[in-house]
Amino acid sequence: MSEVVFVVIVFAGLLHAVWNAAIKSSSSKIFTAIGVNSSAGIVSLLLVFFVPPLSFNAFPFIIASASLQIIYTLLTGKIYQVSELSHAYPIMRGGAPLIVTIVSLLFMQQILKTSEVTGIAVICCSVLMLTLSAGKAGSKGTLLSALNALIIAGYTIIDSMGIRHSDSALAYILWVFATTGLGVMASALLIRGESFARYYLAHWKLTFLGGVCTLSSYGLVLWAMTQAPVAIVSALRETSVFSGIAISILFLGEKPSRVRLLSATGIACGAIILKLV
């Protein structure tokens, strides 16, 4: 993997951590998450008119990916109602790359070196380790988090194939976000209507900033999937957890636990392994 691709993925992880920190510090996590996706969709819809037209072959992938991402966003809100973030988030983010790796090896004919599989495993296990410091969680929260990990893996794999069927990577990225964002916004307006509208208008600056961050973050990840195996990109993206731990300690005033520091160290070691191979 080239230095440029590695830096791009790690930077994408940092952007992902930034907007997640914004959600964590907001008064309504679910409304902020939906607002961020909605803003990303609006920005993308405005930009699609300035990029090359998209091949029709890519639209089935866009529809499938957007459908899964809408479910993911809404399901995340439900998960945080029945489970603590510190328990659910590591399962979702650590489980997805493992699923992507297994699928890419078995069904996508991608060949990985032993050292690459080792690096991926170290990152995923380090993320999953965070569940050891989590509060109590019921079986329902755990099962829903595992389901969301499967959904994340699903749209990641779909997008890795879809962007390769597109004549323009940028056009594919913008159409995915436009379809997802507007779908999430429509769902929120149907379910929570006036409550969401009031919150979105009152916090539009925060959601717009988060929308730009998530658009840039996942857009860079999708571009990286055209340059490196999807399993490696998916795992390296989870360096966002390392960035998230650093942000929570440095800017949110959270106290570092031994488990969190050990997890951060493991993620860094896994990233180094993937960079050196």
- pTM here is 0.87
Q: For residues 167-180, b (16+ Cβ closer than 10 Å) or e, as one string?
A: ebbbbbbbbbbbbb
DSSP type of residue 26 = S
142 burial (CB, 10 Å; 0-12 / 13-18 / 19+) is middle
Distance separating alpha carbons of residues 74 and 76, to the nearest angstrom: 5
pLDDT at position 26 is 78
Residue 247 is encoded by which pair of tokens? 């942000």
pLDDT at position 223 is 93
Residue 2 is encoded by which pair of tokens? 């080239």
Residue 37 main-chain phi, psi, to 5 deg: -65, -35
pLDDT at position 201 is 93
Distance separating alpha carbons of residues 83 and 136, to the nearest angstrom: 8
pLDDT at position 18 is 82
How far is CA 27 from its chain centroid? 21
pLDDT at position 42 is 96
Helix, coil or strand: residue 43: helix
pLDDT at position 277 is 67
pLDDT at position 246 is 81
pLDDT in tens, the chain (277 residues): 788 999 999 999 888 888 777 777 777 878 888 999 999 999 999 999 999 888 888 999 999 999 999 998 888 877 877 776 666 777 887 888 999 999 998 888 888 889 999 999 999 998 888 777 655 556 777 888 889 999 999 999 999 999 988 888 999 999 999 999 999 999 999 988 889 999 999 999 989 988 999 999 999 999 999 999 999 999 998 888 788 778 777 876 777 778 878 888 888 899 989 888 6
Distance separating alpha carbons of residues 84 and 143, to the nearest angstrom: 13
Distance separating alpha carbons of residues 29 and 23, to the nearest angstrom: 5
271 burial (CB, 10 Å; 0-12 / 13-18 / 19+) is buried
